[in-house]
Amino acid sequence: MFLSVPFTWLMEEAKAEASKWKGKVRIGGPGVMKPTECEFEPILFHNPCAAFTTRGCPNKCSFCAVPKLEGEFREVDFRPAPVICDNNFLEASISHIKRVVDSVKKFSLVDFNQGLDAKRFTKQKADILGKLKCKVRFAFDSWNKESAVKDAIDLCRERTTKDIGVYCLIGYNDTPEEARERLELIRSWGIRPNPMRYQPLDAEVKNGFVAEGWDERELKKTMRYYSRLVWLGHIPFKDFQETGQGELFAI
């Protein structure tokens, strides 16, 4: 039996499930927190429409588990799928990017699901991805990235697609005010942000970490509001907090 564990805080649940089986059980997946080579794709347990065409990332961001989970960046054999989950797809060679794009042209929509590296989004790569009907997502993790992200968004709108998302890390080396400024900046670009609450790499409890300067309720309010802008976007965050609606949605 194989068990794929996506998050470290699910390890105890996975062990409990494994104990119910008499035979040998192998536990793998991202939550194991070490690079593994398996004879099957763990992602198939979570989303059969998803695939990786590369592994690793050269950036080695301090908040990110990818270097520990996947090791050095490398191109890999892949199964064509409409949801591409590479952690830094644009680090791949132009020949690899073209090969991936050619293999997924048959799908009606291709979702580059992980945050693309804005500083690697060139005109050449924008045009290659523009051969697809696709959704593109970028990552905006800290204030020193805003120019690169905005330039990538403008280039993407011009040459690739207008279907764009932006992941925004919050609760890591920021304050609530700084996080909301970045989230609101993304809104000013005409995009609904996707807030991503920071989780330590070895977290044993989901959403158990609260950074200095934050409190749990503030984190929940920020996540709930900016994750539900399709319904709440007409209400300024300040009003959302002060009218008691923030308390309601933070429970």
What domains sit in the chain, N to C, each tagged with a CATH number? 2-198 (3.80.30)
Q: Which helix (H) or strand (E) holds 177?
A: helix 176-188
Tokens coding 161: 């697609």
Mean residue pLDDT across the chain: 87
Q: Average of pLDDT values for 47-71?
A: 89
Whole-number pLDDT of residue 7: 66
Q: Tell the residue number behind the tokens 């763990």, with chain if given.
A: 42
Do the Cβ atoms of 3 and 26 come closer than 8 Å?
yes
Alpha carbons 2 and 204: distance in angstroms, whole number: 21
Lowest mean pLDDT among 8-12, 84-88, 180-184: 8-12
Burial (CB count within 10 angstroms: exposed 0-12, middle 13-18, buried 19+), residue 182: buried
pLDDT reading at 96 higher than 50: yes
Lowest mean pLDDT among 38-42, 64-68, 143-147: 38-42
Q: Is the pLDDT of residue 233 over 80?
A: yes
**Exposed, middle or buried: residue 188 (CB in 10 Å: 0-12, 13-18, 19+)?**
exposed
Q: What is the C-alpha separation between 2 and 29, in angstroms, rounded?
A: 10
The answer, yes or no, to whether residue 231 has pLDDT greater than 60, is yes
Strands 54-55 and 74-75: antiparallel
Q: Are 88 and 73 in contact (CB under 8 A)?
A: yes
- Higher pLDDT: 111 or 34? It is 111
C-alpha to C-alpha distances, 133 to 104, 110, 111, 224, nearest whole angstrom: 10, 6, 9, 30
**Residue 126 neighbours by CB distance under 10 Å:** 19
- DSSP letter assigned to residue 225: H
Check: CB of residue 66 under 8 Å from CB of residue 57.
yes
pLDDT band at residue 186 under the 50/70/90 scheme: very high
Helix or strand (DSSP H, E) at 116:
strand 110-116
Predicted local distance difference test score (pLDDT) of residue 32: 61
**Which is more confidently placed, 248 or 218?**
218
Q: What is the mean pLDDT of residues 42-71?
A: 86
Express each pLDDT in 170-180 by its tens digit. Answer: 999 999 999 99
Q: Write out the two tokens for 215.
A: 């409190």
Q: What is the pLDDT of residue 251?
A: 40
- Name every residue whose Cβ is closer than 8 Å to that of residue 197 and which is 6 or more positions away in sequence: 170, 171, 207, 219, 223
Q: Using the Cα atoms of residue 49, residue 137, residue 57 and residue 62 in order, give the sign of their dihedral.
A: negative
Please tell me the distance from the alpha carbon of residue 207 to that of residue 209, in angstroms, as a whole number. Answer: 6
DSSP assigned state of 215: -
- Note the pLDDT tens digit of each residue in 148-176: 999 999 999 999 999 999 999 999 999 99
Q: What is the C-alpha separation between 23 and 12, in angstroms, rounded?
A: 19
The per-residue pLDDT for 250 is: 47
Mean pLDDT of 203-213: 83
pLDDT at 14: 72
For residue 31, what pLDDT is reported? 62
What proportion of the chain, given as a percentage, has pLDDT over 70? Answer: 86
pLDDT of residue 118: 96
Task: Find the helix or strand (DSSP H, E) in which 54 lies.
Answer: strand 54-55
Distance separating alpha carbons of residues 229 and 235, to the nearest angstrom: 9
